[in-house]
Amino acid sequence: MASHRRPKQTSQAYTAVVTATAAAAVAVTAQSASADPLPDPNKKGVQAQIDRLYEEATQATEKYNGAKEKAGVLQKQVDDLQDTAARKQSDLNDLRNQIGSIAAAQYRSGGLDPSVQLLLSSDPDGYLDNASALDQLSARQITALQRYQSQQRDLQQQRSQAADKLKDLQETRTELGDRKKEIQGKLAKAQRLLNTLTAEERAERSAEEERANRSSERVQLGNEASASQRAAAAFEAAKSRVGMPYVWGAAGPNSFDCSGLTSWSFNQAGVSIPRTSQEQANVGTRINSLSALKPGDLILMRTDLSHVGFYAGNGQILHSPKPGAQVRYESIARSGMPFMWGVRIG
C-alpha cells in the first residue's frame, strides 16, 4: 500500500523556511512599531486610544478645575484690593482737603504752611520728624499730616498688591484657556476616532454603556451606615443625581464631572469642600484601607488623584466616570482605576 505521509524536508530546506519566516516576522514588527496605529483592521487599537483620550481628558479637566478655582480666588482678591484702594484714595482726598484748609488759613496769617512743605518735600518722613518741633504746627495739624502720610503709604501698598494679584490672575486665565483647549482637543480627537469605527462597533460601545447603566440600577449596596450625618446627607444628594451626564468642568445640578459631583453633593449637605479631586484628597480624615470605608466617604482614584467619587457600600463607587457616561454605581474592582485612599468628612 502506498504511503500518504508527507516526506520529511531536508535540513537545508527547513533552515531556509525558518529563516524566511523569522525575516518576515521582523519586518512586520518593525512596520507595526513605526506605523500609526489608526489603521488597525480590527479597530481594537482605535477603541483603546478612544478610552485613553477620555481618561486624559478627565485628568486635564481636574487641572482646568484647579485653574478655574484659583482664578476665582484671585479675582476676589483683586476686587477686594481695588475696593480698599478706592476707599483709601477717597480718605486721602478728604485729608488733602483738610490740609488745604489748614494751608489756606496759614497763608492768610502770613506763614508758609508746613503741610505744603510736606507735599513738596522729597523726604516726607524726615520732614515730619522735624516738623513736630515747629511752633507753627498745632497737634491737630501734625495728626492730619501724619495720617495723610500713613494713608498714602497704605494706598501705594494696596495698589502694588492689586497689580501683583492682577498679574497672577492674567497668568491663571491663560492657563485656563490652555487647559480648555487641551480638553477640547482630546475630546475632538476621540470623536474623530469614534467616527472611524463601523456602525456595529459603535453600537457595541453604546451597548456596553447601557449594560453599565442597567447594572447601576440593579446594584446591591447593603445597609451599612455612613460615618457621619454630613457624609450621609452628601451621599443622599449624590444618589439623587444618578443618570445625569458627565460634562467636563460641570458641577451640577444637571451635569457633572467627577469632582463636580462630590463638591456639589457636600454643598447640598451644608459642607464646603475644594473643587478639585487633588484638593479633596487632603480634606477630612484619610482612610487607607478599602475595607475601612463607609458609605459617603470620598474615594480617590489614579496615582495622580485625578478621579474622585463616593464609596457606596458593598465594594461599589458612585461617581461621574468619563465623557459619554452617566453618574452611576460601579464596582471599584472593575473600574480600571487604582484605589489610592479614602477621605472621611465629619
Point out the residues that are catalytic.
Answer: 258, 307, 319
CA distances from 256 to 320, 340, 344 (A): 7, 22, 21
In one-letter notation, the amino acid at residue 226 is S
Q: Which residues contact 329 (CB under 8 A, 6 or more apart)?
A: 215, 216, 219, 221, 242, 312, 316, 317, 318
In one-letter notation, the amino acid at residue 33 is A
Residue where the block lists cell 459631583: 261
In one-letter notation, the amino acid at residue 304 is D
| Residues 176, 173: Cα–Cα separation, whole Å | 5
* The three grid cell numbers given for residue 28, joined into one nine-digit string: 512586520
Helix ranges (H only) for 197-302 are 199-217, 229-239, 258-268, 277-280
The values of phi and psi at residue 273, to 5°, are -125, 160
| Residues 198, 204: Cα–Cα separation, whole Å | 10
Strands 285-287 and 339-344: antiparallel
- Residue pair 142/130 in contact (Cβ under 8 Å)? The answer is no
- Residue pair 310/235 in contact (Cβ under 8 Å)? The answer is yes
Q: What angle in degrees, to the nearest 10, is found between the helix axes of 44-108 and 139-196?
A: 160
The values of phi and psi at residue 318, to 5°, are -105, 120
